[in-house]
A = this chain, B = another copy of it.
């Protein structure tokens, strides 16, 4: 790592990623040009290509990686403590609040839809994200549900509920779907907790 990169350089690079992420949240990846990023960061074209040798795509991948981290970060610390029914409810509430605030903006959405075809790396980022996300959920369902198969299925349907709820939130501006989907998806955990 750090293949010949000064602390200053690293800072600049990070500055670019963060600023680009912000721009993309607002306008979407497709309408965010290198010139926008350049202007927002007070940098020059050459710096953009210095830190992201493969150009635009390279930069978008970096932003995607950054945003993927944020997704999990927004669910902490709840995501790692899903051992009781109460903690599931707390997590649900955190998710609702977070995506409610985000509203229509989807940090990863536009990014992936632009990178998806050209960059297999981007796909990896997302599937890794989902994998660790699912694993965390599974740790929770596993402790509350004695049947292994049920725990796996439940973790998956919870994950799907979040995704679906968010999609519908973005399209309709209503959180009702996310609320309903989460409620019904974590329902098995209530009786699971009671049975322990």
- In the complex, the chain B residue whose C-beta lies closest to that of A118 is B31
Q: How far is the CB of A22 from the nearest CB of chain B, in Å?
A: 16
Q: Which residues of chain B come closer than 8 Å to A176, judged between CB atoms?
A: 156
CB of A44 within 8 Å of the partner chain: no
Q: Which residues of chain B come closer than 8 Å to A156, judged between CB atoms?
A: 176-177, 180-181
Label chain A's interface by main secondary structure.
helix
CB-contacts of A11-56 with B (<8 A) = 27-28, 30-31
In the complex, which range does the number of interface residues on chain A fall in? Answer: 35 or more
CB of A146 within 8 Å of the partner chain: no
Do B171 and A165 have beta carbons less than 8 Å apart? no
CB of A100 within 8 Å of the partner chain: no
Q: Which residues of chain B come closer than 8 Å to A178, judged between CB atoms?
A: 160
Q: How far is the CB of A92 from the nearest CB of chain B, in Å?
A: 13
Complex CA–CA separation, A27 to B117 (angstroms): 8
CB of A126 within 8 Å of the partner chain: yes
CB-contacts of A152-184 with B (<8 A) = 152-154, 156-157, 159-165, 167-168, 171-172, 176-178, 180-181, 183-184
Given A171-B127, A180-B153, A184-B188, the answer on whether A31 and B117 have CB atoms closer than 8 Å is yes
Q: Give me the interface of A with B, judged by CB distance under 8 Å.
A: 27-28, 30-31, 109-110, 112-114, 116-117, 123, 126-127, 130, 152-154, 156-157, 159-165, 167-168, 171-172, 176-178, 180-181, 183-185, 188
A-B contact pairs, 30 of them (CB 8 A): A27-B117, A28-B116, A28-B117, A30-B114, A110-B113, A112-B171, A113-B113, A127-B171, A130-B168, A130-B171, A130-B172, A153-B180, A153-B183, A154-B180, A157-B181, A157-B183, A157-B185, A159-B168, A160-B164, A160-B167, A160-B177, A160-B180, A161-B161, A163-B164, A163-B167, A164-B164, A164-B165, A184-B184, A184-B185, A185-B185
